[in-house]
Amino acid sequence: MNYHMQGDDVVPLLAGALVLGGYATSGESGAGKTENTKKVLSYFANVGATTKKKEDEKKQEQLNSLMTTLHSTHPHFVRCIVPNETKSPGKSLALAEKANKTIQQQISEVNVKLDEANRTLNDFDAQKKKLSVENGDLLRQLEEADNQISQLNNLKASLTTQLEDTKKMVDDESRERSVLLGKFRNLEHDLDGLREQLDEECEAKADANRQLSKAYAEAQMWRSKYESEGVARAEEIEAARLKLAARLEEAELQIEQLNVKNMQLEKAKGRIISEIDEMQMQVERAQGLANAAERRQKDFDRVVNEWKIKVDQLATELDASQKECRQYSTEHFRIKAVYEENLEHLDSVRRENKGLAEEIKDLMEQISEGGRSLHEIEKNAKRFEIEKEELQAALEEAEAALEQEENKVLRGQLELSQVRQEIDKRIQEKEEEFDATRKCHQRAIESMQSSLEAEAKSKAEALRMKKKLESDIGELEIALDHANKANADIQKQVKKAQAEMKDMQARVEEEQRLASEYREQCSASERKANAVNGELEESRTLLEQSDRGRRQAESELADANESLSHLTAQHGSLSMAKRKLEGEIQTLHAELDDMLNEAKNSEDKAKKAMVDAARLADELRAEQEHAQTQEKMRKGLDLSVKDLQARLDEFESSAHKTGKKALAKLEARIRELENQLDDESRRHADAQKNLRKCERRIKELSFQSEEDKKNHERMQDLVDKLQQKIKTYKRQIEEAEEIAALNLAKYRKAQQELETVQRS
């Protein structure tokens, strides 16, 4: 027989059956059954009337859903009520009352569970949204910190390049300044030499002028002598005049040569003065450039110091942001742990719901089979429901208190992992015991006693553990005191919750009166509950996957943090080594500059020595030529003396009568000529001495030039060695920078993987 009927067919049957049952059992049934029968009869009569009058599709669907629900949950009710409506109306009425009450109880229980599930889902959704927002904030802060690090690295690179450019500019300007100073010193030395040469030429010119004046005096003397002595000595005087004219011509030639030399020296002097002026202008420009370079160097140093201060400030800000990031990450992990605990609690609630559903099915089967009275079942169901709700509320309060206590212990005692594990084990044992109490409602009182005994044992064990750990952990004692206070607060909250549960019981009774209004929503809520269960299963799988990914990401993050700390240590050591090498390179550059300056000075000294040697060689040649001319003049004077001696002999023999005055004059002239000869001999000796001095000076300068050359070669070798060392240092620095770049790339890669894992 097909029991799936439409609402229009079932309503009159049910109404007729109930009416017949009411009239048939009016004398047999009690007042409760009559009232229930009247309620059911009035409900179905109203439904039938509204169906007949209005033919409302909504009521039709509600009746259809009611029949499908009755058929799915209590098929025996339809099997008993529909075919036996005419046979045994009283039995059908009793079955209908039983089914009605069981359905009302089931609907109220399902509504309560559904409300609790909705509340827990809303709480979990709020926590999930809050965690996602906090996670997004942390990721954004981490990205901002990475951007700041990259900007600081770029700024550091630009500052290093600017510093290197300024160092290069300063080195170039210092080299140019040293070159200009060397040229200026060389020109000063050349100017001193030219001044000395000019003084010598002026002295030679003065000597020539003195000789010329002396020759003019002699000419005047001989002219006066010629005029005084007469024509007798005209020929002699003429010869002497010719000699004196020849000497005068020679003196004039010497004067002209000296004038030419003087003009050349004047030109050279003017040229040197102009060169000196130009060099002074160049030196002034170089000094101006050097001063400008020094000012720029000071400005660059000031800018570099400012940027160093900014870099230090940014480094401190970076450290603070990293500390905040670590704090946020620890807070994130703590919230995730709380979220996992809430999910575990949700799983336990679901298991409890499943157990309760199974128990409800068992109870419904027992009710359908019939074995006990409906009144006892209602009392037991209400009592079990009240006990269940009390236990559930107490469990939730205890779990919340335990979670708070666990959070406090985790904040204060991170290093005490063993104690925390033991506490977690005890909490899990308590949760298992509470789950056992939920699953076994028939043995609720016994399970509560066992859980209380287990809790008392755990408290005693905790006290023993507290006494045992008092000697080792002082901080744990404070935490346990706080935990005891929290336990007292929890007990107070439990009492308060019991008072609230009484109010909730009154509310539940009111909601039971409104259960008839929620019947039409029962099927939709069941479908929604099934959909929510499916979504929860999917979210659980996704959560497990995310947990696995999170654990993997945490392990990778720990590895990345370790590698980052190692890399930062390496980078610090490398930066210290780099700074040390840069200091050594700067000292080597300074030594190299000093050595190059010494080499340049030695080269300048060698050049000066070569110039002095060439000048001394020229002076030597001039002195040799002068000595040769003096020797020629001496020979000529000797010849003239011999000639004069011969003439004197002839004059004494021919004209002894000329007188003592002419003889005295001639003797004076002879003495003067002898004095000139002595002077020329002294000059010749002085020239020989100067020649020997110049030769010794040339030897000393050649020896000094050889020593300078050897020193220059040694300096060049040392410079080559230092340049080789600098190249090796640069290569080591480049290798260290490559290693640092590789480590930084690895860190960034690990960070990107971590970000991708966190996003997923």
Task: Please enumerate in sequence order all residues whose Cβ is within 8 A of that of 226, keeping only pairs 6 or more positions apart, or say none.
Answer: 233, 234, 237, 241
Asked whether the predicted pLDDT for residue 645 surpasses 80, the reply is no
Looking at the fold, whether 286 and 415 belong to one and the same domain comes out as: no
Asked whether the predicted pLDDT for residue 14 surpasses 60, the reply is no
Asked whether the predicted pLDDT for residue 573 surpasses 70, the reply is no
* DSSP state letters, 668-706: HHHHHHHHHHHHHHHHHHHHHHHHHHHHHHHHHHHHHHH
pLDDT at 81: 47
For residue 373, being part of any structural domain is answered with no
Q: What would the mean pLDDT of 290-310 be, rounded to a whole number?
A: 74
For residue 55, being part of any structural domain is answered with no
Higher pLDDT, 473 or 354: 354
| pLDDT confidence tier of residue 51, bands split at 50, 70 and 90 | very low
Q: Other C-beta atoms within 10 Å of 454: how many?
A: 15
For residue 573, being part of any structural domain is answered with no
Lowest mean pLDDT among 4-13, 138-147, 284-293, 629-638: 4-13
Asked whether the predicted pLDDT for residue 27 surpasses 60, the reply is no
| pLDDT confidence tier of residue 195, bands split at 50, 70 and 90 | confident
Q: How far is CA 557 from the centre of its chain?
A: 18
Provide the terminal-to-terminal Cα distance of the chain, rounded to the nearest Å: 57
Segment 598-612, tens digit of pLDDT? 666 766 766 676 676
**Of 393-397, 605-609, 613-617, which has the strongest mean pLDDT?**
393-397
Segment 128-140, tens digit of pLDDT? 788 778 777 777 8
Q: What are phi and psi of 370, to 5 degrees?
A: 80, 115
606-622 exposure pattern, b = at least 16 Cβ within 10 A, e = fewer: bebbeebbeebeebbee
Q: Does residue 504 contact residue 389 with C-beta atoms inside 8 Å? A: yes
Q: Provide the percentage of residues in the chain whose pLDDT is more than 90.
A: 0
Angle between helices 89-229 and 374-412 (to 10 degrees): 10
Residue after which a domain boundary falls, among 281, 296, 311:
296
Segment 331-374, tens digit of pLDDT? 767 777 777 777 787 777 778 777 777 776 776 676 566 555 56
Segment 224-237, tens digit of pLDDT? 765 666 555 566 66
Global pTM reads 0.22
Asked whether the predicted pLDDT for residue 23 surpasses 60, the reply is no
pLDDT at 189: 76
For residue 679, being part of any structural domain is answered with no
Cβ contacts of 347-353, under 8 Å, gap ≥ 24: 347/540, 348/431, 348/435, 349/116, 349/117, 349/120, 350/533, 350/536, 351/435, 351/438, 351/439, 352/392, 352/435, 352/438, 352/439, 353/113, 353/117
Q: What would the mean pLDDT of 186-204 be, rounded to a whole number?
A: 75
Distance CA 722, CA 155 (A): 31
pLDDT at 1: 41
pLDDT at 12: 45
Q: Which of 403, 396, 382 is nearest to 352 (CA)?
A: 396
pLDDT at 6: 41
Q: Does residue 105 contact residue 519 with C-beta atoms inside 8 Å? A: no
Q: What secondary structure letter does DSSP report for 416?
A: -
What mean pLDDT value characterizes the chain? 68
| pLDDT confidence tier of residue 86, bands split at 50, 70 and 90 | very low
Q: What would the mean pLDDT of 206-223 be, rounded to a whole number?
A: 74
| pLDDT confidence tier of residue 423, bands split at 50, 70 and 90 | low
pLDDT at 28: 37
Lowest mean pLDDT among 369-378, 421-430, 663-672: 369-378
Looking at the fold, whether 126 and 243 belong to one and the same domain comes out as: yes
Looking at the fold, whether 124 and 251 belong to one and the same domain comes out as: yes
Asked whether the predicted pLDDT for residue 531 surpasses 50, the reply is yes
Q: Other C-beta atoms within 10 Å of 623: how many?
A: 20
| pLDDT confidence tier of residue 24, bands split at 50, 70 and 90 | very low
For residue 752, being part of any structural domain is answered with no
Asked whether the predicted pLDDT for residue 633 surpasses 80, the reply is no
Q: Does residue 77 contact residue 70 with C-beta atoms inside 8 Å? A: yes
Domain span at residue 443 reads: 405-456
CA distances from 479 to 416, 417, 489 (A): 12, 14, 15
Q: Does residue 666 contact residue 644 with C-beta atoms inside 8 Å? A: yes
pLDDT at 758: 73
Distance CA 712, CA 693 (A): 27
Task: Please enumerate in sequence order all residues whose Cβ is within 8 A of that of 339, keeping only pairs 6 or more positions apart, or say none.
Answer: 127, 128, 131
pLDDT at 277: 75
Q: Which of 195, 224, 145 is nearest to 661 (CA)?
A: 224
Asked whether the predicted pLDDT for residue 254 surpasses 50, the reply is yes
pLDDT at 288: 76
Q: Other C-beta atoms within 10 Å of 310: how many?
A: 13
Looking at the fold, whether 271 and 410 belong to one and the same domain comes out as: no
**Of 136-150, 232-246, 505-519, which has the strongest mean pLDDT?**
136-150
pLDDT at 597: 72
Total domain count for the chain?
2
For residue 151, being part of any structural domain is answered with yes
CA distances from 192 to 189, 195, 284, 540, 700 (A): 5, 5, 21, 101, 21
| pLDDT confidence tier of residue 207, bands split at 50, 70 and 90 | confident
Asked whether the predicted pLDDT for residue 412 surpasses 80, the reply is no
Looking at the fold, whether 283 and 429 belong to one and the same domain comes out as: no
Asked whether the predicted pLDDT for residue 617 surpasses 80, the reply is no
For residue 370, being part of any structural domain is answered with no
For residue 119, being part of any structural domain is answered with yes
pLDDT at 242: 76
CA distances from 735 to 212, 491, 731, 739, 741 (A): 84, 67, 6, 6, 10
Residue after which a domain boundary falls, among 296, 330, 351:
296
pLDDT at 70: 58
pLDDT at 648: 63
Q: What secondary structure letter does DSSP report for 396?
A: H
Asked whether the predicted pLDDT for residue 471 surpasses 70, the reply is no
Q: What would the mean pLDDT of 318-324 be, rounded to a whole number?
A: 74
Token pair recorded at residue 685: 């000796």
| pLDDT confidence tier of residue 438, bands split at 50, 70 and 90 | low
Q: How far is CA 548 from the centre of its chain?
A: 31
| pLDDT confidence tier of residue 58, bands split at 50, 70 and 90 | low
**Of 66-75, 468-477, 488-497, which has the strongest mean pLDDT?**
488-497
Q: Provide the percentage of residues in the chain whose pLDDT is more than 70.
A: 49
Distance CA 530, CA 439 (A): 21
Distance CA 639, CA 265 (A): 36
Looking at the fold, whether 278 and 149 belong to one and the same domain comes out as: yes
Asked whether the predicted pLDDT for residue 616 surpasses 80, the reply is no
pLDDT at 518: 57
Q: Which of 283, 114, 81 is nearest to 185 (CA)?
A: 283
